[in-house]
Homo-oligomer: A and B are copies of this chain.
Amino acid sequence: MKIAVLPGDGIGPEVAAQAVKVLQALNSEGLKIEMEHATIGGAGYDAAGDPLPEATLALSRAADAVLLGAVGGYQYDSLPRPMRPEQGLLRIRKELNLFANLRPVNVYPELADASTLKAEVVSGLDIMIVRELTGDLYFGQPRGIHVNANGEREGYNTMRYSESEVRRVAHIGFQIAMKRNKKLCSVEKANVLETSELWREVVIETAKEYPEVALSHMYVDNAAMQLVRNPKQFDVIVTGNIFGDILSDEASMLTGSIGMLGSASLDQNRKGMYEPIHGSAPDIAGQDIANPLATILSAAMMMRYTFGRDDVADRIENAVKKVISSGLRTVDIYTAGTTKVGCAAMGDAVVAAL
């Protein structure tokens, strides 16, 4: 198992180090994991003048999976757009063809109180959001800022999806639904957008291959409401890049503990990039207080999706559960009566609980 580790910026290196620790612990028991580190984001820019240095891309291409910390920092905000940290992220997604972004949203019973929603609305919540990641407004051409016929500046971007782009991510949605509760909700805005009209048609066609899955369709504005009103109505959601960006962040915040949520971004061959959904949090970087569990859970997803090792994934996930139920908490999930620990100590605790 060849893994490229890209710690990135801010708290990225700290949280990635804990996931590496967990993988190393598994290694010493016989898993054959090889890890190599490289820079990305602001760290890539600092080291090589590029948020996705060539060496990083080459390493990531050669690897079976990529483990990413986080990218971004205030000092890079004024760089020209192509040099900004998030461009490294967008480019590696595109270069590695990571079209299926899996974002599980689930609530640990012990942490349900951290939600701003009433406990009965979110306890037991378990949604999987499948977000298309290499198309849509993010990459659609033409795009830019120009002077229009009236002599004024105008910004424009293109939402664009081809049938095959929709079909491949729809398949992922259906396949995941088959392994879960067999409910798939496709989210778009077909009452206004032709792109969404095509999206819906292709999803309906694809559904023929999954007769056991109950497929529904929802407009994105309604989905944004339903996630607040009754999030437990959802099992698997499949949606485009920009709608998925918005809805998956909304959904993750329903849990009240985004420091606990990992993600996977997969290509057609189950090669993947794995990262926590939280950002680089530069304000708390270097203080050993960040929550490493989202990154550790991302490593578990790697075992499941890229390496087909559900057993190892389960072990990591159970270790995290054990640590949480033993009362250990980083500051972001701390409540009175629990035990506050730092980032590295949390990593150690997971290793011990493996």
Q: A118-B116, A155-B198, A156-B158 are in contact. Are A137 and B225 (CB under 8 A)?
A: no
Interface contact B155-A189, CB-CB below 8 Å: no
Number of copies: 2
Dominant secondary structure of chain A at its interface with chain B: helix
Could you tell me the distance between the alpha carbons of A195 and B153 in the complex, rounded to whole angstroms? 10
**Per-position binary interface string of chain A over residues 337-351, scored 1 when its CB falls under 8 Å from any chain B CB and 0 otherwise:** 000000000000000
Report B-chain residues with C-beta under 8 Å of the C-beta of A155: 159-161, 193-199
Q: A152-B162, A224-B250, A229-B116 are in contact. Are A192 and B138 (CB under 8 A)?
A: yes
The answer to whether A328 has its CB under 8 Å from any CB of chain B is no
B84, B156, B160, B189: the one within 8 Å of A140 (CB): B156
Report B-chain residues with C-beta under 8 Å of the C-beta of A248: 221
Interface residues on A, range: 35 or more
Could you tell me the distance between the alpha carbons of A57 and B53 in the complex, rounded to whole angstroms? 57
Could you tell me the distance between the alpha carbons of A189 and B249 in the complex, rounded to whole angstroms? 14
If A90-B192, A224-B253 are given as contacts, then 4 extra A-B residue pairs at C-beta distance below 8 Å, sorted by A number, are: A145-B198, A154-B160, A155-B195, A155-B199
List 24 A-B residue pairs with CB atoms under 8 Å apart, sorted by A's residue number: A116-B118, A116-B121, A116-B230, A117-B117, A117-B118, A137-B192, A138-B192, A140-B156, A144-B194, A153-B162, A153-B163, A153-B198, A155-B196, A157-B158, A157-B193, A157-B194, A221-B248, A224-B250, A226-B253, A227-B250, A228-B228, A228-B253, A229-B253, A246-B246
Which residues does A use to contact B, with CB under 8 Å? 81, 84, 86, 90, 116-118, 121, 137-138, 140, 143-145, 148, 150, 152-164, 189, 191-199, 220-222, 224-230, 242-243, 245-250, 252-254, 258
